[in-house]
Chains A and B, each alone.
Chain A
Amino acid sequence: MNTEGIALGIFTLAMIGFGFFWVIRLEYHLGYLWWPYPLVLGILLVVLSLFLPNAGWSALFGIAGAVFMWGSTELKEQAIRAELGWFKCNPQRKPDPPGVQWIKRIKPPHM
């Protein structure tokens, strides 16, 4: 029997669970305008997975990358949920991300 596949499935479940956590925290403390940064991190992890010598590590990096990419598409919706009162809304001004003037010109990805 090959239990490595199930282990990767459980790792995916854990990463999605962690995704819920960091999307809520990142939106609360920094704001949804930071969305390009987890997206780029996710893309980098997937690209890096192509160059790893071990298939297991490559799989872990690929899964983590995909979850970060997905999380970046959730930040805008999370901001709206917080504004609607479904999640805790941070009343303080949030810091602008580096390159905010370019980020504001791009529509945040949304699935």
Chain B
Amino acid sequence: MALEWSGFCMALATFLGIWSGHVGVRWIEAHSVRIVLPIVLFMIGGIGLNLYSLFAPNLVLAGVSSILGITFIWDAAEICRQQKRVRLGHAPANPNNPRHAAFLQHGSATCDDLLDREPTGQPVVVTTADANARTSSGDTTDHTYREVQI
């Protein structure tokens, strides 16, 4: 019995597309001084891949290129959302990035990754004031510890 590999190829494209976007968006947003260029590049890549899928010679190539193209367009939007998360302190800021350094000085941004913990089953209160004060004083250490109070 011959196996139908189309679905497996699409599954691989979907999973790797989401995973690479998930990791890539965070890295690119943290290391780009301006986010306009990566957003434009992701949009161009996404639209280009979708245009290619219209003329692809078979279903697998058409599907895989469109799936990756759509995830690229999604990633372009996610870069904006990631910047908002950093500004709100929902994602760690990079103190070496001037854009993030400004967030750290003005808002509730933090260098700590608040998601780097185990669920407790109870609501938690997070103290970011200490982390902000530390960053404002020029401490650019990569803080891997957590400041979570129950």
Decide: B117 and A50 in contact? CB cutoff 8 A.
no
- B67 on the A face (CB < 8 A): yes
- B120 on the A face (CB < 8 A): yes
Q: Which residues of A contact B54 (CB under 8 A)?
A: 1-3, 5-6
Q: Which residues of A contact B6 (CB under 8 A)?
A: 49, 55-56, 58-59, 62
Total contacting residues, chain B, CB less than 8 A: 47
Q: A2-B55, A3-B54, A83-B124 are in contact. Are A111 and B19 (CB under 8 A)?
A: yes
- A26 on the B face (CB < 8 A): no
User: Which residues of A84-101 have CB atoms within 8 Å of chain B's CB atoms?
Assistant: 84-86, 89, 94
Decide: A9 and B50 in contact? CB cutoff 8 A.
yes
User: Which residues of B1-31 have CB atoms within 8 Å of chain A's CB atoms?
Assistant: 1, 3-12, 14-15, 17-19, 22-23
For A7, the closest partner residue in chain B by CB is: B66
Decide: B14 and A67 in contact? CB cutoff 8 A.
yes
- For B10, give its contact among A6, A59, A89, A94 (CB under 8 Å): A59
Decide: B119 and A111 in contact? CB cutoff 8 A.
no
Whole-angstrom distance between the Cβ of A33 and the nearest chain B Cβ: 9
Complex Cα distance, B71 from A54, in Å, reads 25
Q: Which residues of A contact B92 (CB under 8 A)?
A: none
Whole-angstrom distance between the Cβ of A7 and the nearest chain B Cβ: 8
Decide: B122 and A12 in contact? CB cutoff 8 A.
no
Complex Cα distance, B50 from A17, in Å, reads 19
Q: A9-B66, A12-B67 are in contact. Are A62 and B14 (CB under 8 A)?
A: yes
The 3 closest A-B pairs by CB, nearest first: A5-B62, A49-B7, A62-B7
Interface residues of A (CB under 8 A from B): 1-6, 8-10, 12-13, 15-16, 31-32, 46, 49-63, 65-67, 69-70, 76-77, 79-81, 83-86, 89, 94, 111
Interface residues of B (CB under 8 A from A): 1, 3-12, 14-15, 17-19, 22-23, 50, 53-56, 59-67, 69-71, 74, 90, 114-115, 117, 119-124, 126
| Interchain Cβ contacts under 8 Å between A and B, 11 examples | A5-B54, A5-B61, A8-B63, A12-B10, A46-B7, A51-B4, A55-B60, A58-B8, A79-B119, A84-B126, A111-B23
